[in-house]
Structure 1
Amino acid sequence: MEDTSLEATLRRELAEEVPGLNVDDLTPYALEAATSVDGFAVPIQVFDGRWNGDPETVDLREGVLLRWFAPDTLEQLHLSPGLGDLIRRHAAEHPPASSPPASTRLLRDEAPEGTELHIVGVHLYLEDNHGRILLGLRHPDSAYAGNTWHFLAGHCERESAVACLIREAQEEAGLVIKAEDVDLVHTVHVLDAPGAQPRLQLVFQAHRWQGKPQLRERNKCVSWDWWPANALPEPTVAYTRAAIDGIRHGRLYTELGWT
């Protein structure tokens, strides 16, 4: 049986892909253009709706992760062309309802009043037999630090920091690391700009690993190279330099951007 409308198609897809994500009101919002694999322009009807559920409770049958993201954190994500602008435009035209999503309410209820949630980043510090450090050159189109050298890094999802490190090393560079072979060697507490969400950047050193660095995610990194600590390439991310300097001098902690 064919769907009777675009809304019916969307509801069917939701029921197939994410059972439990039930949206009461769906309203046509925008008509976007996309290009099909054969080069033809295809109109895409975008709907908006409201859902206050917890992503952890739904049965995700397609895709790998379902999470809430605030519009001001979109630069951290790899999005299809135009999607970020569409979301920001919608957010500006439709201020959030007075009642935030259940998952957000849960976080606020658990945290003392005035608590500021931080983004946790995990970074891999590797030294080869010559004392050189592994850095990657980020893709020019990267939302963060394009054309700049940086640690192998990632953001913690719903996992421990060491589990995140192990996952990112495998996904980004094909490196196999065991939890018992890593130590936390430096932490950088970063505030990129006034009003920005604070970040805790954890740097772990792996003393043993298997494999040679490979370009597994070319949309993020275009080159892996080993660099002497006293001759880092230009440009290198500022807090990466600060962390390497701290490790070389035996410091465990650095603050950047705080007044």
Structure 2
Amino acid sequence: MTTPPTGTAALIVNHAGQYLLHLRDDRPIAEPFTFAFLGGAPEDGESLQEAIVRELKEEAGLSIEDLRPFTVVDSPARRIQVFLGHWDGDAAALPLTEGVLLRWFDHAKLPDLRLAHGTREAIELHRARTVDVTSAGTTTAQQQPRRVTSRPRANRPPVPHAAVGVGIVVHRDGRVLLGRHRRGTHELPGGSVEPGESLPRTAVRELAEETGLTAREADVRLEGVLLDSVADVLRLTVVAVVTAWAGDACDQPGEPVGDWRWWPLDALPDGLFVPSAQCLTLWRPHLQVDHPPAHRYRLRQP
């Protein structure tokens, strides 16, 4: 009796005949630092189809309309149902939440990659079924321009030496939202970027966690970047302006910053947290706020 599959994966191909592959990280996972399809195991009560739709959304924000069962492959951990789908988009722009990177690869580049079990088997089956042979004896895939690949230098992450965070400006009627940290500084909402997050997603998450205000990523405008250092640690702070939100700012359980108030821009409190002060003067250069210098880079908005 054939063992039914208990895992899912998505073979996603674009109009150029390229395949979307995901480089796994070294967290507890089968075959770390290999290139594989997006996918995962079903949750309780989920069908395989429901599981792959959820996994694509969670891992990369993807929604594939024509996703359908394609083949079954074996991995060291389980049998995997591979689904086939088509998508033409910028893989580098997807909000990857797991792994190292997500890229399109030509079939000709696969021998250069360390692939997870079953990945090559599924791709070769797809090629055999769909590659169009022309009258000249060449294939559609062979006629596509070669794409240059990239890969990590080593199987270990770089040595940490930088902190990346977001300072969030929420303002209305000439006032800006500031809270008071338990150590006494006045600060904007904000915090560290978590692995796999986009900057707008970080801003939305931190705003909700610290103040209870809810916003959409589409309502976050990235204003600029600040670069300075504390001791030997580089600090990169992105200024994010939230243009629309819902709710009232209030103290949140377990958060070190509270007592949220709307402060007039011409009467800001003393004792601003340094990154918050830097964010405010990048956003509004006329503000009379003193702070240590930082390299400042304003971002052009589309």
**TM-score (norm: length of structure 2):** 0.43
**Higher percent of residues as strand:** 2
Q: What is the TM-score normalised by the length of structure 1?
A: 0.50
Larger Rg: 2
